[in-house]
Amino acid sequence: MLKGIPQILSPELLMVLCEMGHGDRLVISDGNFPAESMGKQAIVIRCDGHGVPELLDAILKLFPLDTYVEKPVNLMEVVPGDKVETPIWDTYKEIVAKYDKRGADCVGNIERFAFYDEAKTAYAIIATSEKALYANIMLQKGVVVE
């Protein structure tokens, strides 16, 4: 065990976060996301039994967001015609604001199939048991400047 590391972050996940470089992307997916098929070229880490918000909060304690892009955090847009509420997005924006001074301004949306295309090029995908719909989130890593 280590001091100061959130217990939800497994050794495998910590290793992946450390290996990632500036500009690499990480997807934290909901339980409906096709993580294994999207992640054929990525590292897929299972975090069954956990939701996206708790993982997002733990990861952002260690993971700097890219300051060289306007939207280093992206959510999967709701498909036009879907009557789905996305209150989890407000939770994500609150968590992001705890760790990045840009707050909700650095959070964008990507059309569903474009999100899938981007996910196929991600460094890693974390598969969760999140039940909320459209709860997928993509993070772009920045640099540590401390």
Q: Is the distance from CB of 28 to CB of 133 less than 8 angstroms?
A: no
116 catalytic per annotation: yes
The one catalytic residue among 30, 57, 66, 100: 66
Residues contacting residue 83 through CB under 8 Å, at least 6 positions apart: none
Write down the residue that tokens 């996305």 correspond to: 86
Q: Which of 50, 99, 105, 116 is catalytic?
A: 116
Write down the catalytic residue from 22, 68, 90, 117. Answer: 22
50 labelled catalytic: no
Q: Which two tokens stand for residue 134?
A: 């459209």
User: Distance between CA 50 and CA 19 in Å, rounded?
Assistant: 23
Q: How many whole angstroms from its chain centre is CA 7?
A: 18
Q: Which residues are catalytic?
A: 22, 66, 116
